[in-house]
Structure formats: C-alpha cells, structure tokens
Amino acid sequence: MNRTPSTQALTVDALVHYGPLANTRALIDDHFDQLVPHVSLVSELDQIRSCAPHTAVVLHQSLTHGVWAVESAMRLAWERAAACVVTPALPGIGESTAHLAQRLRTPVFVVDGDSAQCALDLAAAITNPDALRAKLLARCAVLFSERSGARAILGVINTEVPGVSAALVSGDGQVLAGRSTVARSGAGSRQVRVEVPGPDGQPWASLVAEVAGAGPLLDTVRTILRLACVPLAAAVTQQRLELVHNSARAGAALDVLLTDGSRRVAYSRDAPDDVASELGWQVDGRHIGVFLRVATSEAGPDVETLTPGVVSAWQREFGDRPLVPRSGGWASWWPAESRAAGDVSGELGLGLVRMRSPVGLVAGIGEPAEQLAGLRESLAQAELASAAAQGSTAGHVELFAELGERLVLACLPVAELARSAEVALADLLAASDHRTLVTTLAAVLDHGGSTGQAAAQLGVHRNTVLGRLERIRAHGIDVDRPDRRLALHLAAYALATRAP
C-alpha cells in the first residue's frame, strides 16, 4: 500500500479556505499543512482503526454519544496518522477537547449541520482537487482586481492562498512588500518566482512565493503569481505617475515660494501660504535649507529622470519631509526649532548613505533661518554648499557656514575649466609624471610660491619640489609671471579637483 499521499492532494488548509471545512469551526489553528487524499465517514470507533493514513475522519451523528467518544475518535485518528477529525457539534466540546487536539497535533473541526453531508462534500473536493484550485484562482483574480497597492495585492496572496508566503523582492534582494521571511528562506523550501515588469516593460522586481511543507501544487501558485503581476505592474506605474505628477506640482509651488513678493505677481496670483498649506508644507518658523545633488560631477541622467527614484527612496528614509526637484538637484527644508545645522548634517548624512537611491547623493546645508524670506536664503546657501560637496563620496554633507571663501570655488564650473586646462597645459600633461607635477604646481601656488611650505604639505624634501618646478618650467610654464598666475592656479585646481 502506498502510504505517501499524492502531491495532487489538497491540504487541510485548502479545505478550510475553499473547501467544505470553511463552514466548520476549527478547535485549533495549527497542523493544517497535511495532505488529505482520503475521507472516511465512521459510525463506530473501531472503524477508525482501519482508516488509511492522512484520512479526514468524519464522525457520524450516531457516534457522538458524548465528548468522550469524540476524544476517543481523535485518539484513534492520531494513532492512524489521520489528517484531521470532523465531528458533529454537541454540548461539552470545548477547551479541553481543543487542548487534546493540540497535544495530538490533529486538527478537529466541528460541523453544525449533518456530518454525513460534510463527508460527501469532502469526498467530492478530494476527488476533484482541480475544481477547488479553480475556485481559489477565481477568488484571487477577483480580489486582485479590487486591490490597487502592492501591499494589498501581496496581502491577498498571503491570506488567501493556503500554505504560501509571498513577497515582492527588488533586484538587490530588498523586500518591497509582503513577508520578509520569504527573502531569508534557506535552501529546501519550495519557491516560485515570477518577474514583475516595470513601467518600461523591463523586469523591475520579482514576486517570490514560498510554499510551506507539502502545499498545493506549484503550478497553481505560479498561476496566481502571474495573475498578480498585472495589477502589481499597474500599481507601480500608477505610483510612478503620481510621484512625477506630485514632484512637478511641488516644483512649481516652490518656484512660487522662492520668488519674492514684488516679482511673484507677474508669475502667479497664488499666495505663498496657500501654496504651502495645499501641499502640507510647513514654511513658518525656523528652518534649515537642504539641497541634494548627484555625488559625481560627471554627466549622467538628469534630475527629471532621476526624480521618481530619488523621491521614492527619500520618502522611505525621511517620511514626509519635502523633497522638490530643482534644476541642479533636489531641495528640502527641515524644521530647526531646537537644533543646529550640525545636528541636521549628521542625520542627513546617515540617511543619505542608507537611502536606496538610484544614484549616490551628496548634500549641502544652509544656515537656520526664520520665516519664508529666511528659508529662501537658507535654500540658496544649501544649493551653494551642495556644489562644494559634489565630487565627494555619496552621503557627504557640506555646511554653508563652514565653507567660507571656498564657496567661490564651489561655484566654479570645474569640469569646463579642466577641459580648458587640458588644452592650455597640453605640453605638461603629456609628461609621464604629469599627475605629480600638477599636484606640485597646485601646492606651490596654494602656498604663494613657498617651496618649503609646499614640500611640507606634500611630505617631500624641499629640493624635490625645486626639482619638479624645474621640470615644470621645462614644459614652458612660468610660475613667476603675475599676469598668468591666477589662470595657472585655476587650471591646476581644476585638474587636481576633477575626478580621476
């Protein structure tokens, strides 16, 4: 006799969710993962002794002389490795019987109606499991059509599909929605994975389902996941569209806020307070301006393209704090009633490192300022400071207050200057040790021509610096001509600052 049930068989869980056991009362909620290939209606306790393993044992009305008979049947069912016991309702079935069911690890279901009818229904379901699975698919399809968000759609799978845990997992393994345990599950668990397309049609994430124990057929789960893909993709697209729309709206609103009163009339009749309150922005009181930029100064995707990903990542990390796209990056402002720019810097830097942004970001922070006029000033300072941060590693934060005269350098178009310098100093840059020579040239100019201080900064002997200056002069560069010194200093600065 083959004692291993077919994997085509339904589980107790499936029968509870979509089968005849849905109309019964379960004494315990555990041990529902067993397959049920057989059902047996018994009118005498001894009949249980001949039941095959994994049988759903249904007690006939005539057997229920007392709770003792139900408990005796439970015990015999346990000895026969039955999948579950179904009993007619009768007075006295309560906590103690549930306690015994828990100890025997045997699910017990109480049916108010005719247990014989329940046995017939169970037999019909067990004989034709595909019908029950079709019912499950139909139910999921209906619920998917009624849900709009990724979490709600994952919720349908996790609550409606018996024995299955599902999650939406990004390409780098981050769980975006659903059960985080799915991503951590080890080898041995049965997983079904379906790619979810993004708005551009490319795979954007994976829908992963883990089938616990001997769950329903993997094919059924795969079909359900595919059914979920369409509403999930739609939900993602909708979310992106909303982000783009909201960002554009926020950008326009910030334009209004940052325009001073005399000029605003020409552009908009909206009052700043109305604009801010409509978007839920707090602009009264004391604030600190924050400005984000892409960390690298090299050319890459523009702000408009990056905005949905950056704003989405920002919201995950910083919640409702505003983030508004501007021409060179993204503006934000934080309340500063009880903290200084330095405190904001620490929190912002950590957040930027943690943020799962599509590009690395750096930030600049302005000075704390009062009211809308102050905020305009603080944001302008933050934008300047962020320019100084550009070129550093992601997460770097510059404070306007600490920049001083370096602020001027921050405003230089370093990349363009570097390209000019490459032409002007082509002879020097052709040298095999041009990096060393450029660094030395910059150090000497930084120290006003002092070779001793330049040597100390570079960590070499003064004679080495003198030797390098000789080689620099040999390339036709006269470091001593006052009329060329500023241009030469800028060229050396641009070449040294530019990313290698």
Partner 1 sequence: MNGDARVPEIGPDDVDALVAGSEFFGASIAGSSVENFRTWTREVLERRGPVPLVEPGELDADTPCAAVGIAGSMTAIVELPPAGDEPATVLTALQNQLGRAVGAVMPMNAATINALFPVLAAAELGLPVVDCDGMGRILPLINQTSYALAGLPLTPLTATSAVRDLVSIDASAPRAELLIRAMLNTAGGWMLCALYPTEARNLVTAAIPGSMSRVVRVGRLLTGATDHDGIVLGLRETANATVLGSGRVVELGPSGKRGAPTQPANPTTVVVREERADSRLIRLEAQNELLLAVIDGVLATAVPDLLCLLDRNSLRMKGLERVGLGDEVDVLAVPAAPVWHSPAGLELAGPAAFGLPVRHPKERDG
- Residues in contact with partner 1 by the rule CB under 8 A: 44-45, 63-69, 71-76, 78, 90-92, 94-96, 99-100, 103-104
User: Which is nearer to partner 1, 28 or 443 (by Cβ)?
Assistant: 28
**Length of the chain as a residue count:** 500
User: Which is nearer to partner 1, 111 or 379 (by Cβ)?
Assistant: 111
User: Which is nearer to partner 1, 96 or 393 (by Cβ)?
Assistant: 96
User: Which is nearer to partner 1, 53 or 309 (by Cβ)?
Assistant: 53
In whole angstroms, the minimum distance from the beta carbon of 60 to partner 1 comes to 11
- Apex 137 CA angle, 135 and 142, nearest 5: 95
* Residue 26 Rama label (left phi>0; alpha psi -120 to 50; beta): beta
In whole angstroms, the minimum distance from the beta carbon of 96 to partner 1 comes to 4
User: Which is nearer to partner 1, 97 or 332 (by Cβ)?
Assistant: 97
Residue 153 vs residues 99, 145, 229: alpha-carbon distances, Å: 36, 9, 9
User: Which is nearer to partner 1, 81 or 401 (by Cβ)?
Assistant: 81
User: Which is nearer to partner 1, 4 or 96 (by Cβ)?
Assistant: 96
Spell out a b/e string for 159-168, using b for 16 or more CB atoms within 10 Å of the CB, else e: ebbbbbbbbb
DSSP assignment letter at 63: G
User: Which is nearer to partner 1, 78 or 330 (by Cβ)?
Assistant: 78
Residue 367 identity (one-letter amino acid): E
In whole angstroms, the minimum distance from the beta carbon of 55 to partner 1 comes to 17
In whole angstroms, the minimum distance from the beta carbon of 188 to partner 1 comes to 31
Half-sphere exposure of 54 (CA within 13 A, CB side): 18
User: Which is nearer to partner 1, 69 or 244 (by Cβ)?
Assistant: 69
> Rounded to an integer, what distance in angstroms lies between the CA atom of residue 89 and that of residue 149?
41
Residue 157 identity (one-letter amino acid): I
Residues 486/490/493/496 CA torsion (nearest 10 deg): -120
Q: Cβ contacts of residue 410 below 8 Å, gap of 6+?
A: 384, 385, 387, 388, 398, 403
Copy the structure tokens of residue 153.
């759609």
Copy the structure tokens of residue 488.
């030469």
Alpha helices in 193-285 (DSSP H): 218-258, 261-267, 272-278
In whole angstroms, the minimum distance from the beta carbon of 124 to partner 1 comes to 28
User: Which is nearer to partner 1, 74 or 472 (by Cβ)?
Assistant: 74
In whole angstroms, the minimum distance from the beta carbon of 79 to partner 1 comes to 9
User: Which is nearer to partner 1, 101 or 205 (by Cβ)?
Assistant: 101
In whole angstroms, the minimum distance from the beta carbon of 99 to partner 1 comes to 6
**Closest C-alpha to 430, from 481, 477, 466, 398:** 477
Copy the structure tokens of residue 474.
């040999």
CB atoms within 10 A of CB 7: 12
Gap between the terminal Cα atoms of the chain: 74
- Apex 418 CA angle, 416 and 423, nearest 5: 100
User: Which is nearer to partner 1, 73 or 336 (by Cβ)?
Assistant: 73
In whole angstroms, the minimum distance from the beta carbon of 97 to partner 1 comes to 9
**Closest C-alpha to 161, from 102, 227, 115:** 227
226, 209 Cβ separation under 8 angstroms: no
Which H or E element spans position 427?
helix 426-429
User: Which is nearer to partner 1, 67 or 137 (by Cβ)?
Assistant: 67
In whole angstroms, the minimum distance from the beta carbon of 35 to partner 1 comes to 23
In whole angstroms, the minimum distance from the beta carbon of 95 to partner 1 comes to 7
Q: Which position has the token pair 């095959």?
A: 52
> Rounded to an integer, what distance in angstroms lies between the CA atom of residue 114 and that of residue 366?
76
> Rounded to an integer, what distance in angstroms lies between the CA atom of residue 93 and that of residue 59?
14
- Strand residue runs (E) in 369-434: 369-370, 397-399
Q: Cβ contacts of residue 267 below 8 Å, gap of 6+?
A: 255, 256, 259
